[in-house]
Amino acid sequence: MSAIYLVRHGQAGQNALDNASDGGFEEAYDRLSDLGRHQAETVGRALARRVPAHTPVIHGPLVRQRDTAAAVAAALDAVTPTVDDAWKEIRFGDILTPWFRENPGHTEALKRAKAGKLPRAQVDEVNRALTDAIDEWTTGPEFGDFRQTVRTGLFAAADLALDAGSVVVVSSGGPIAACVAETLPGASWSDLISTVLNASVTVLGVKPGVDGAPRLSLRSLNEHAHLDGLDAEGRHPLRTFG
């Protein structure tokens, strides 16, 4: 069976919350942190132990996706990665900037949460409010357009996987969650997106379909054993969601 390896980009946008309410969230977020670059190299090495050298690499148009893909491609000794706009993440800034403006206290709480200075109960409360804002967006027409765009990119990658045996796609949590939802009818995109770690790997199996369209199945979701190393304080510094 052929396979698509879906990789989320490394950690990005460590200063994005400083621009949360002024419309600059997207630009501030779209860059890898030092840790994000390390994660990208780590997942590249992990994939090099699993897929053949020269496996094709596709990525979305965002800087964080491109830079992660470059590290993965280097580890696989792959040809220059291919850009496909279908793998672009939704613009969370467009959804959340009005929410941040209306809830300045939550913005400060998120900053404290990222710094590990907020009690767990308050972190959960802020995350629920954030999820509600995203859930509201999924009821509108833009979400349907997003899902269809990702579906187009997914089936193009599936066709390539059938030819090449495997393909690596570097994208973001939203498109990866949408791909998983394609294989799990009834699954909640909002629930899935909250599970996808930076530099994690989700694997879809691909078979030829009787009608000519590839058949997809979920092999694994959010693999992150390659991110499980402990630091001197017993923490997992490579496990991040940002």
Pairing of strands 57-59, 82-83: parallel
| pLDDT recorded at residue 116 | 60
Q: 27: part of which helix (H) or strand (E)?
A: helix 25-29
Q: What is the largest CA-CA distance in the chain?
A: 55
pLDDT tens per residue across all 242 residues of the chain? 899 999 999 998 765 555 554 556 677 778 999 999 999 999 999 999 999 999 999 999 999 999 999 999 999 998 899 999 999 999 876 776 666 777 776 666 666 666 665 566 666 666 676 777 788 888 889 999 999 999 999 999 999 999 999 999 999 999 999 999 999 989 999 889 988 999 999 999 999 988 878 999 999 999 999 999 998 888 888 998 87
Angle between helices 104-114 and 120-137 (to 10 degrees): 120
113/239 Cα distance (integer angstroms):
15
pLDDT of the residue at 46: 98
pLDDT of the residue at 112? 65
**Distance between CA atoms of residues 201 and 216, nearest Å:** 16
pTM > 0.75: yes or no: yes
pLDDT of the residue at 28: 73
**Model pLDDT, residue 102:** 74
Show the CA angle centred on residue 224, arms to residues 222 and 225, nearest 5°.
140
Q: Where would I find the beta strands (DSSP E) of the chain?
A: 2-8, 57-59, 82-83, 166-171, 201-207, 215-223
